[in-house]
């Protein structure tokens, strides 16, 4: 008898989701079975459901921001024990492409993304490579640990690696939801000043001020450019983060850069923004930088920062839904009902 578990399943042809009984997966070489504690609902999960992202499999279990405990070890796994508290990496390097072969696994050319290329963690159990597990300190809750796997680590990668935000640099953040909130917090942690949040919802702007923004402005304000100029002593922004990914947010963020400023694109949509004329783009020496993801080691760094009280994620969990109600959680995020930072699924 094959043992079964409850798991959400997304069907590519009908775009329908269901919670079903599926076999508990068998473990291969180097793999670990993780009993899922919590798994976040991310906008990229919505993008698979609404067709913005192409389906890679006919049916897949979604969810790629998971925390849990080690339930079983596959062949060849050492250094882990049943019950260890872990976060699961949201992608698997191929270990075969030219970048992987030179040790640059975080720039794998054929990275397989969890919940797209293989089954994710809106399920009682998920399979992880031992290679990609991060141990979570006892004083970090598994709720907060779950969102380290994307909602906090992707902003970390954007602030630290792609944006290379330095102490005293002026930063703007367009869209202060699940990603943008953490961009604000991490920009604060690395010493950016001032930090300017831009959104369209008053409640979201107030929240951005509460987590560390120095100013919060409405994106629709005709005087936005002047307000950012005044807030930055006439300089405009060294780094602008577009956590929304619309044509309007991308272009507005770009247009508020100082000479030599960097735009970091994090949010994704099907929109195709313009950088304006090459003459102006070059004259202002602007940089427009695409960003995706993080390095696996970043999860451990963030877990340590939370553990040591340097990074407060206590506001970041907006709601928790049981696995059977995952559709309700998805709808709530889709409609921005309650302006969630992160909604978690609890199997």
Q: How far apart are CA 19 and CA 122, in angstroms?
A: 9
Tell me how far, at minimum, the Cβ of 122 lies from Zn ion, in Å.
Answer: 13
266 with 163: CB under 8 angstroms? no
Q: Would strands 342-346 and 31-41 be described as parallel, antiparallel, or unpaired?
A: antiparallel
Q: Of 56-85, which residues contact Zn ion (CB under 5 A)?
A: none
Q: Using the rule CB under 5 A, is 316 a contact of Zn ion?
A: no
Q: Residue 258's closest CA among 183, 343, 194?
A: 194
Tell me how far, at minimum, the Cβ of 162 lies from Zn ion, in Å.
Answer: 16
Q: Using the rule CB under 5 A, is 268 a contact of Zn ion?
A: no
Of residues 94 and 327, the one with the C-beta less far from Zn ion: 94
Q: How far apart are CA 6 and CA 319, in angstroms?
A: 21
Residue from 33, 108, 128, 213 in contact with Zn ion (CB under 5 A): 108
Of residues 44 and 318, the one with the C-beta less far from Zn ion: 44
180 Cβ contact partners less than 8 Å away, ≥ 6 residues apart: 155, 173, 174, 197, 199, 208, 241, 243, 244
Q: Using the rule CB under 5 A, is 88 a contact of Zn ion?
A: no
Q: How far apart are CA 65 and CA 148, in angstroms?
A: 7
**Contacts with Zn ion: how many residues (CB under 5 A)?**
8
Tell me how far, at minimum, the Cβ of 148 lies from Zn ion, in Å.
Answer: 12
268 with 245: CB under 8 angstroms? yes
Omega within 30 of 0 (cis) for the link into 194: yes
Q: Of 124-153, which residues contact Zn ion (CB under 5 A)?
A: 150
Tell me how far, at minimum, the Cβ of 317 lies from Zn ion, in Å.
Answer: 15
Of residues 111 and 239, the one with the C-beta less far from Zn ion: 111
Distance, C-alpha 319 to centroid of its chain: 17
**What value does the CA radius of gyration of the chain take, rounded to a whole number of Å?**
20
Q: Using the rule CB under 5 A, is 42 a contact of Zn ion?
A: yes
Q: Using the rule CB under 5 A, is 44 a contact of Zn ion?
A: yes
Tell me how far, at minimum, the Cβ of 99 lies from Zn ion, in Å.
Answer: 6
Q: Using the rule CB under 5 A, is 267 a contact of Zn ion?
A: no
Tell me how far, at minimum, the Cβ of 235 lies from Zn ion, in Å.
Answer: 33
The residues binding Zn ion (CB under 5 A) are 42, 44, 93-94, 97, 100, 108, 150
């Amino acid at each position: 008898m094959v043992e079964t578990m409850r798991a959400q399943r997304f069907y590519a042809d009908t775009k329908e989701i269901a919670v079903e009984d599926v076999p508990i997966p068998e473990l291969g070489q180097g793999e670990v079975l993780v009993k899922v504690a919590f798994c976040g609902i991310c906008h990229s999960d919505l993008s698979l459901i609404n067709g913005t992202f192409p389906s890679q499999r006919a049916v897949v279990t979604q969810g790629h921001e998971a925390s849990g405990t080690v339930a079983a070890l596959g062949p060849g796994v050492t250094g882990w024990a049943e019950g260890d508290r872990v976060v699961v990496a949201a992608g698997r390097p191929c270990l075969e492409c030219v970048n992987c072969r030179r040790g640059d696994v975080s720039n794998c050319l054929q990275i397989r993304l969890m919940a797209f290329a293989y089954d994710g963690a809106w399920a009682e159990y998920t399979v992880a490579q031992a290679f990609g597990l991060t141990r979570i300190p006892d004083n970090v809750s598994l709720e907060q640990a779950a969102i380290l796997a994307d909602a906090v680590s992707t902003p970390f990668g954007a602030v630290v690696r792609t944006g290379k935000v330095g102490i005293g640099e002026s930063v703007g953040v367009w869209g202060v939801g699940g990603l943008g909130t953490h961009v604000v917090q991490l920009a604060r942690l690395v010493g950016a000043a001032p930090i300017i949040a831009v959104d369209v919802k008053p409640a979201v702007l107030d929240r951005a001020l509460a987590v560390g923004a120095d100013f919060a402005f409405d994106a629709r304000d005709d005087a936005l450019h002047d307000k950012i100029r005044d807030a930055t002593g006439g300089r405009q922004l060294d780094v602008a983060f577009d956590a929304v990914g619309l044509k309007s947010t991308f272009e507005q963020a770009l247009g508020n850069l100082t000479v030599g400023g960097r735009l970091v694109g994090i949010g994704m949509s099907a929109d195709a923004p313009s950088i304006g004329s090459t003459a102006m783009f070059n004259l202002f020496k602007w940089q427009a930088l695409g960003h995706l993801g993080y390095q696996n080691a970043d999860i451990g760094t963030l877990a340590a920062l939370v553990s040591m009280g340097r990074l407060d994620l206590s506001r970041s969990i907006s709601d928790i839904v049981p696995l059977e109600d995952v559709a309700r959680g998805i709808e709530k995020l889709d409609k921005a009902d309650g302006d969630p930072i992160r909604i978690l699924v609890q199997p």
